[in-house]
Chains A and B, each alone.
Chain A
C-alpha cells in the first residue's frame, strides 16, 4: 500500500466528483486528499488527488479514469 498522486483536468460538471471517486473506490484506493480548483476556462476544472492503495493497480486505474467522458487529461504526479 502506497500513495499515488494524480492530476486531472475535466469538464466542470455537477456529477464529476461522483464519477471520479467511484473509479477510486472500484480499484480499492482510499482518497487522502482532494484539491478541486477552477481553471482559466469556466468549462474546465482541475483536481489533484492523493490516494492510497495497491500501487500496481495505479496505472490501470489511471486508464479507467481517463476513459470517463468528462475527463480531458489525467496523469501521475510525483508524490
Chain B
C-alpha cells in the first residue's frame, strides 16, 4: 500500500489502538491534521489551549487508563511548549508518545521559521527521541517509540518529523500492535535471599512507589502484606496502590508525609521496597533512613539499584513476578508485638480526627472525599494542597491519584484532570491552589469545549502557600513574592469561561456546592477560601529525618 508519511502516522497510531490524541496544530503538522480530519471516526483529537496543557492531558490520560498518552504539536514554539509536560511524565515514568512536525529537510539547520531541533531539545526529558530523516523508516520508528514508551520502566518518547517526510510516499505494511518487551526476570538467588530476610523479619514494612502502579501489582502487594503481616507505607507516587481503609495501610511517609508512617519506617527491621526509588522527598537523610532496617530493593530499572541507598538485597526485574513469587513462598506470619507497637505509634503520632466545625484543608478534603463516588480520579497541582490531598484523601484503587511527584510541576493538574476525564468519561476531581490554577487555567476552555465532567476545587489561600511555609520555617518569615493579591473572582471566571462556579466559605456551602457539582454537566469550579496560616505539617526538613520533624 503506497501512503504518504502523514497517512503512515495515522495508520500506525491505529495499529497501536490509539483512539484519542491531544494536541495543537501549526504549519508544520498540518499534513498530519489533514489526515486526522479524514480519520475523525477512529481517532478523536482533543484541542487544548496550549501545548503544555496537551502534554499534561496526554500524561493524565495515561496515568488514569494505563494506555500510552499521545500528543501532537507543531515545530518551534509548539515543541518547546511540550518540554515541561514531557519532563513531568519522565520523572514519574509515564508512557507517552509526542509527535512534532519540523521544517522541511532542505531548510533543516538554517534557522528557518519556527525551526527547533526538538530531538536534541528533549534528550534530557524523554526516555528517547527520534528525528525522522527518511519516510522509509517512519512506520518502524513510530512502532519503536510505542515499544520504548511501554517497555521496562515506562517513559515519554518524542518523534520529530520534518514536513517533507510527512508528504513523501512510501510503501506501508500493516503490523500487529507493539507488545511490551519481555521483562527481565528477577534472579532466583536474589529472590531466595529476599524470602529468607522476610521470614526472619519481626518488624517488616513494605515501601511502595509508583512502580507498583505501573506494573499493576496492587494485588500482589496486598497478598504479600497480609502473608508476612507487614505494614504498608508509600511514596507519593505509590499512593492509591492499596485501599486506604486496609488495616495495614499507613499512607505516605517522608518530608510531607504522615508522622506515624515515618516513625514506623524508622522502627522497622526490614523494608521491602517495591518500585520506589528512594527519592529525597520520601527518604530525607539517607544515612538516617530506616536506620534499624535491612533493605530489599525491587525495581525493573537496574540503574535505580544503589543510586541512593545500598540495599542488602537487590531484586532487579519485573516487579509483579517478584512480588508474586515472594508472596507464594514466604512463611505466613503474625507479628503481634510489632503490630501492637505500630498501633501505639499511630495512636500517639497519627492524624487527629477531623473537626467538622472547622473549615480547614483536612476537613474540606475529607468532606469532598465523602461526597464523591469512591473510585473518583483525583488530580492535584503542586503545593500545600497537594500534600494535604496525599495525606487526607482515602484512595481506593490504583490510578485514582494523579500528581506530579518527581518533577513537582505547578500547572500539571488542569491538563491531567482533562486527560483523565477523557479517558474515564467519569467525574474527575482536581484539587488545586490559587497559584497553580492560575498557571494553566486557560485549559478550562478545553474542558468547557468538550463538556468534560471536571470538578475543580481551589483551596484558595491568596498565597503561594508552600513558599510561604518554607519562608516561615527556613527564611525568618521574610515573606516575599508569595502574595497573589488576587482580586480574581473565580466564580465569575467560571461563568466567563462557560463553566459553572460556586463559592464555599464554610462546610455547609461546600457540601451544597459539591452536591450541585455532582449533578452538573460540564466543568465546575468551586472556590474555597481557606486561611493562609494552615501549614502542611508535620514536615521533615530537607535532608532531615523523623528526629528533626517540625510539628
Binding site for B on A (CB under 8 A): 14-15, 18-19, 22, 26, 59-60, 63-64, 66-69
CB contact between A69 and one of B131, B148, B307 (< 8 Å): that residue: B148
Q: Beyond A60-B303, A63-B302, A63-B303, is A69–B128 a contact (Cβ under 8 Å)? A: yes
User: Chain A nearest CB: distance from B44 CB in Å?
Assistant: 30
- Residues of B near A14 (CB, < 8 A) are 131
| Distance in Å: Cβ of B416 to nearest Cβ of chain A | 26
Binds A, one of B66-74, B119-127, B364-372: B119-127
CA distance A18 to B120 in the complex (A): 8
List 4 A-B pairs, minimum CB-CB distance, nearest first: A63-B303, A69-B128, A64-B303, A67-B303
Q: CB-CB < 8 A to B301: which residues of A?
A: 67
Given the known interface contacts A18-B123, A22-B123, A69-B148, the answer about A59 and B128 at a Cβ–Cβ threshold of 8 Å is no
Instruction: Find the residue from B123, B127, B131, B305 having the highest chain A CB count within 10 A.
Output: B123
B127 touches A15 (CB 8 A): no
A18-B123, A59-B306, A69-B148 known; 14 new pairs, CB 8 Å cut-off, are: A14-B131, A15-B129, A15-B131, A18-B120, A19-B123, A22-B123, A22-B124, A60-B303, A60-B306, A60-B307, A63-B302, A64-B303, A67-B302, A68-B128
Contact call A66/B303, Cβ cutoff below 8 A: yes
B contact residues around A15 at 8 Å (CB): 119-120, 123, 129, 131
Task: Output the nearest chain A residue to B302 by Cβ-Cβ distance.
Answer: A63
| Interface-centre pick from A14, A63, A66, A68 (highest chain B CB count, 10 A) | A63
- Which residues of chain B have a CB within 8 Å of any CB of chain A? 119-120, 123-124, 127-129, 131, 148, 301-303, 305-307
What are 29 of the A-B contact pairs (CB < 8 Å)? A14-B131, A15-B119, A15-B120, A15-B123, A15-B129, A15-B131, A18-B120, A18-B123, A19-B123, A22-B123, A22-B124, A26-B124, A59-B306, A60-B303, A60-B306, A60-B307, A63-B302, A63-B303, A63-B305, A64-B303, A66-B302, A66-B303, A67-B301, A67-B302, A67-B303, A68-B128, A69-B127, A69-B128, A69-B148
Task: Note all chain A residues with C-beta closer than 8 A to B120.
Answer: 15, 18
Q: With a CB–CB cut-off of 8 A, which chain A residues contact B131?
A: 14-15
Measured CA separation A3–B303 after assembly (Å)? 21
Q: How far is the CA of A59 from the CA of B303 in the complex (A)?
A: 9
Q: Which residue of B lies closest to A15 (CB)?
A: B119
A69 contact set on B, CB distance < 8 A: 127-128, 148
- Chain B residues whose C-beta falls within 8 Å of the C-beta of A67 in the assembled complex: 301-303
Smallest distance from the beta carbon of A66 to chain B beta carbons, Å?
7
CA gap between A47 and B302 in the complex, in Å: 22
CA gap between A79 and B148 in the complex, in Å: 34
CB distance from A60 to the nearest CB of B (A): 6
Nearest-neighbour CB distance to chain A for B84, whole angstroms, equals 18
What residues of B have a CB within 8 angstroms of the CB of A19 in the complex?
Answer: 123
Complex-state Cα separation, A15 to B303, whole angstroms: 22
Q: How far is the CA of A64 from the CA of B306 in the complex (A)?
A: 12
A21 and chain B: residue at smallest CB distance? B123
Considering the complex, give the chain A residue whose CB is closest to the CB of B148: A69
| A68 to B131 Cα, complex, angstroms | 16
In the bound assembly, the distance between CA atoms of A69 and B120 in angstroms comes to 15
